[in-house]
C-alpha cells in the first residue's frame, strides 16, 4: 500500500557539522536534515550563537528490496562498516556449567548472516549506552548545574522550554538500556524490548514537539553574555567536543533511528527463526511512534501558523 507524505515517518538532522555526534556515528543512522523554519516565526538563526534551525520532513518508507535496488552502494558501505566491527556473538551455555552461573563460553557463529545480525545487535547496544550517557550529561551536568546557579538569569519557564522533558527520557532510556543488556545479544529478545515498551516511547512526542522552542530559547541564551559564558565554561569543564545544542538534538535523532536498526535485524535474520514475527512487530511499533511524532508536529506547526496570522491581522499587517 502506497503511503501519502502525511503518513510517513519524519526525519531530523542538522546542517551544522558540529551536530555529528557519537550517536550519529551509528552505521545505520537515518539521514536527517534540519532546514530553515523561520517562516513560522519561531526563531532566527544567529551564526555566532551557533543556532540550529529545524523543520521536520516526511521521509519515504522503503522496503528492504527497494533499498538494495535503489542504493546498492550505500547498502554495501553499511555492510562493510559493520563487518569491520569486532563481532559479539550471543552467549552459548558452557558445557558442565549450571545455567544460573555467570560463566559462559563465546561461540563463533556458523554463518555470515548470523554474524552480521550479531553485529547489528552489538551496534544497538553500544549506541544505546553512549546515548544514555549523553542524556545523563544533559541532566546532571547542565540542567542540575543551571538549577543550582541562582545568579543566572534563566527562569523556571525558560529552563522548562530549553530542556523539555529530558529527565523523563533519561530515566526511561536508562531502564530500556538495562533491559537490552539483559537480552544476552539475542535479536528477538532485543526486538521484544521495543514491543513491550511501545506505549512509553510516546514521551518523545512531547520532546520533539517542544524542540523548536528549545532551540529558540538556547539562541536567546547565547545572546546573553553571562549565560553564553556559563555554557562555554561548562562545555570546557566537561571536555565535550560538542555544545549543549548538539546534545539537545540527540533524543530527536535517536527516536527516529530505532526502526532503522530493527530493519537491519529483520533484513539479515532468517525468516524461519523463531520469534521473527516479534522483530516485525518491533519495526511496526517504532514506525508508529515516528508517524505519531510527525502528526503531532504538523498539528503544532498549524497552530503556530494560525497564531502568527491572527497576530498580523490584529496588528494591521
Question: Tell me, what's the pLDDT at 303?
Answer: 67
Span 19-35, mean pLDDT?
43
| Cα separations in angstroms, 194 against 159, 286, 317 | 30, 8, 49
* Segment among 61-65, 222-226, 233-237 with least mean pLDDT: 61-65
- Residue pLDDT, tens place only, 257-280: 999 999 999 999 989 999 999 999
The C-alpha atoms of residue 73 and residue 251 are separated, in whole angstroms, by: 28
The C-alpha atoms of residue 46 and residue 12 are separated, in whole angstroms, by: 20
R_g over Cα of the chain:
22
Question: Tell me, what's the pLDDT at 112?
Answer: 54
Question: Tell me, what's the pLDDT at 300?
Answer: 66
> What are the DSSP calls for 231-245, one per residue?
HHHHHHHHT-SS-HH
Contacts of 72 (CB under 8 A, 6+ apart): none
- Residue pLDDT, tens place only, 33-84: 333 343 333 334 443 434 434 444 444 444 555 445 544 444 455 455 555 5
Contacts of 44 (CB under 8 A, 6+ apart): 38, 51, 219
The C-alpha atoms of residue 131 and residue 135 are separated, in whole angstroms, by: 6
- Residue pLDDT, tens place only, 12-23: 443 333 344 444
Question: Tell me, what's the pLDDT at 95?
Answer: 38
- Residue pLDDT, tens place only, 165-191: 999 999 999 999 999 999 999 999 999
* Selected residue with higher pLDDT from 167 and 85: 167
pLDDT for 32 beyond 90: no
pLDDT for 85 beyond 80: no
Span 108-133, mean pLDDT?
83
Amino acid at each position: 500500500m502506497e503511503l501519502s507524505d502525511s503518513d510517513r515517518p519524519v526525519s531530523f538532522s542538522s546542517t551544522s557539522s558540529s551536530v555529528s555526534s557519537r550517536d550519529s556515528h551509528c552505521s545505520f543512522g537515518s539521514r536527517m536534515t534540519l532546514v530553515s523554519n523561520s517562516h513560522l516565526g519561531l526563531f532566527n538563526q544567529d551564526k555566532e550563537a551557533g543556532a540550529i534551525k529545524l523543520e521536520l520532513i516526511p521521509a519515504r518508507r522503503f522496503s528492504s528490496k527497494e533499498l538494495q535496488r535503489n542504493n546498492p552502494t550505500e547498502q554495501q558501505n553499511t555492510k562493510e562498516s559493520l563487518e569491520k566491527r569486532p563481532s559479539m556473538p550471543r552467549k552459548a551455555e558452557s558445557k558442565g556449567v549450571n545455567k544460573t552461573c555467570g560463566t559462559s563460553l563465546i561461540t563463533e557463529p556458523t554463518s555470515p548472516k548470523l554474524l552480521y545480525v550479531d553485529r547489528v545487535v552489538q551496534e544497538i547496544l553500544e549506541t544505546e549506552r553512549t546515548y544514555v550517557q549523553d542524556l545523563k550529561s544533559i541532566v546532571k551536568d547542565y540542567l542540575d548545574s543551571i538549577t543550582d546557579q541562582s545568579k543566572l538569569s534563566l527562569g523556571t519557564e525558560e529552563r522548562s522550554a530549553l530542556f523539555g522533558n529530558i529527565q523523563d527520557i533519561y530515566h526511561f532510556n536508562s531502564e530500556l538500556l538495562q533491559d537490552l543488556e539483559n537480552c544476552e545479544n539475542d535479536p528477538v529478545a532485543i526486538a521484544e524490548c521495543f514491543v513491550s515498551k511501545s506505549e512509553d516511547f510516546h514521551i518523545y512526542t512531547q520532546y520533539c514537539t517542544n524542540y523548536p522552542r528549545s532551540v529558540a530559547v538556547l539562541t536567546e541564551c547565547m545572546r546573553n553574555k553571562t549565560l553564553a559564558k556559563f555554557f562555554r565554561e561548562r562545555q570546557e569543564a566537561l571536555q565535550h567536543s560538542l555544545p549543549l545544542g548538539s546534545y539537545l538534538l540527540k533524543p530527536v535523532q535517536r527516536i527516529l533511528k530505532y526502526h532503522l536498526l530493527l530493519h537491519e535485524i529483520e533484513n539479515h535474520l532468517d525468516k524461519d527463526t523463531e520469534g521473527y514475527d516479534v522483530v516485525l512487530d518491533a519495526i511496526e511499533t517504532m514506525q508508529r511512534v515516528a508517524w505519531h511524532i510527525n502528526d503531532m508536529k504538523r498539528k503544532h506547526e498549524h497552530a503556530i501558523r494560525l497564531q502568527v496570522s491572527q497576530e498580523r491581522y490584529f496588528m494591521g499587517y
